[in-house]
């Protein structure tokens, strides 16, 4: 995974994991790598990974069983909400970006139709 060192690393890892879950790379109920394992794979500080898992737990996207590890949520609703959340953000970024270029919202829809 390539990192942008200009923004907090833990945020980037969280986004990445969320994507993986929505896309299906990480299945419902799947066990996440341990803090050490993931830190070693990504070559980042273990405390950063700790924070990632804490955040994900807080958002109920994952749950941690003491002494056993961290697991992806089994709640389908959570995952579909996540999908919505991520897609909304992509759309928002797209609209913002197009607006910046000077496209009005109507022009924007037409361009998109043409492209697709």
Partner 1 sequence: MEQILKATQLSKYFYQKKALDKVDLTIEKGKIYGILGPNGGGKSTFLKIAAGLLKPSQGEITIDNEKPGVYTKSIVSYLPETNYLYKWMKIKDALNFFKDLYADFDTERARESLKFMELEEEEKVTSLSKGMMGRLKLTLALSRKSKVYLLDEPLNGIDPISREKIITSILDSYSEKTSILICSHLIYYIEKLLDYVFFLSEGRIILSGNAEELRNKRGMSIDKLFQEVF
Residue 47 CB, nearest distance to partner 1 (Å)? 5
Query: Within positions 57 to 116, which residues make up the interface with partner 1, using CB under 8 A?
Result: none
Binding status of residue 40 toward partner 1 by CB under 8 A: yes
> What whole-number distance in Å separates Cα of residue 19 and Cα of residue 13?
10
Contacts of 22 (CB under 8 A, 6+ apart): 79, 82, 83, 86
Residue 106 CB, nearest distance to partner 1 (Å)? 34
Residues that bind partner 1 (CB under 8 A): 3-10, 36, 39-40, 42-48, 51
């Amino acid at each position: 995974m390539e990192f942008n060192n200009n923004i907090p690393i833990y945020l980037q890892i969280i986004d990445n994991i969320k994507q993986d879950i929505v896309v299906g790379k990480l299945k419902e109920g799947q066990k996440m790598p341990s803090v050490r394992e993931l830190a070693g794979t990504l070559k980042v500080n273990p405390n950063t990974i700790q924070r990632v898992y804490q955040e994900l737990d807080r958002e109920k996207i994952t749950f941690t069983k003491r002494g056993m590890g961290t697991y992806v949520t089994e709640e389908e609703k959570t995952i579909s909400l996540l999908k919505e959340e991520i897609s909304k953000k992509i759309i928002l970024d797209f609209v913002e970006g197009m607006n910046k270029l000077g496209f009005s919202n109507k022009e924007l829809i037409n361009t998109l139709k043409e492209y697709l």
